[in-house]
Amino acid sequence: MPPSYAPRELPSAIGRYDTVRALGVGAMGRVLLARDPVLERHVAIKLLRDDLAIASDVREALLVRMRHEARAAARVTHPNLVVIHDMGEDDALGLYLVFEYIEGPTLKQRIKEGRLSGRQAARIAREIGAALTHAHEHGVLHRDVKPENIILSPTGSKLTDFGIARVPDSTLTHAGGLLGTPAYSAPETFKDGKFSPASDQFSLAATLYEAIRGARAFPGDDALSVASRITNEPPEPFAASLRYPGALDAILGRGLAKDPDARFESCKLLGASVQEALLMRASRAPTDASAITEDPTVPPPPNPSVPPPADRRGLRWFAVGLGGLLAAGVGARALLRAADDPNPGSAASASTSASAPQASSSALDVGSASAAPVKPGKKPTARPTPPPPPPPPEPPPPSSGSAAPTAAPPAGSGPPPSAP
């Protein structure tokens, strides 16, 4: 609240609205909380301050601007713009505007508690930038973008105060001083009194600068020194001190450019660029290992340096297939040898021995004992020498009560000796 403002007794009603309490006072207007008895809801009523020492023609020009801005704001609907409900005139208080009432602090009140986090500032940049561009596309200029006119509601930020516009040349005086603060005004508004979407963008960039850093882009002790800084000096870079990417300084510097043509094409593009730069820092992984928490229910990702375990089922099927190929090769070789052998028995024996590689040694002896006859004029086929036959088994020991068999005496040895 301006220190020179002396609050007066609140009226009990303004039009059909019952006043509840004062919400705030600005450079040119004040805001009251009121209740709509017809729709049974709270509203915010804005009207000109009644203590301004301004000429009657200037006051009338302000009222004309209020009516024009109110009609323009009524045509613009956006989730991040405060909705205007009504406009009327009171016999004692004059013209008033009725807006939706939003609970929440202003951005100025929030900055007093400390600078915003990257994610908080990124959301405001995106929402207010898109809201201003939407208003510009419908022919509406705000002319007074600053932290006091941004309300932080539970559902997002809201831009308010389209109704009472700043006087373009800032020549209105109250108690010998400038009305309002030029800390967020574009330099062309001081020189030529020109307001445009580019001047709204300059004000938005100055607001975001203060929200992110916690200090104004163009500080000063009085309005003249602030205006001189805005006109002649660039804003001080700060991104590195807060560990933000250097692109943030370049983005805000472009939005605060002295030349309107050097700024972004729209407030929406400025807000999106600021959001991207802020989230680049907010999304960086923590360097402290203790700050990383893992969910024990989620399996760890595979390590590419460790090979996966071998599939033993695939090895078994490979061995079976290789054994089948070897067996088929042995069988084919036996058939070819049988085709060259005219003795069917020999072929059958070879086939049998080939198809049964695990046959006993006695079977091999039988097969090798049957030598095929050799035709005249044909050399006999060399055959492998069979292994020697195993020794004959020893006779079992004689059982009790039975005579042990005796071996036959060799020829010419005479009769066996007789028992005594």
Whether 288 is a known active-site residue: answer: no
Write the CA distances from 31 to 3, 80, 96, 99, 163, integer angstroms. 16, 19, 10, 10, 12
CA distance 16 to 47: 15
Amino acid residing at 105 = P
The Cα-based distances of 253 to 220, 248, 272, 362 in angstroms read: 19, 8, 15, 102
Angstrom distance (rounded) from CA 51 to CA 3: 13
Amino acid at 281: R
Q: Which residues contact 112 (CB under 8 A, 6 or more apart)?
A: none
Say which of 18, 36, 144, 295 is annotated catalytic: 144
Burial (CB < 10 A; 0-12, 13-18, 19+), residue 183, is buried
Structure tokens at 129: 């930038």
The four Cα atoms 187, 190, 196, 201 give a dihedral, to 10 degrees, of: 40
- Which residue, among 280, 276, 166, has the nearest Cα to 223 in the 3D structure? 166
What is the C-alpha to C-alpha distance for residues 270 and 1, in angstroms, rounded to an integer?
31
Dihedral-angle region of residue 412 (phi above 0 means left; psi in -120 to 50 means alpha; beta otherwise): left
Q: Which residues are catalytic?
A: 144
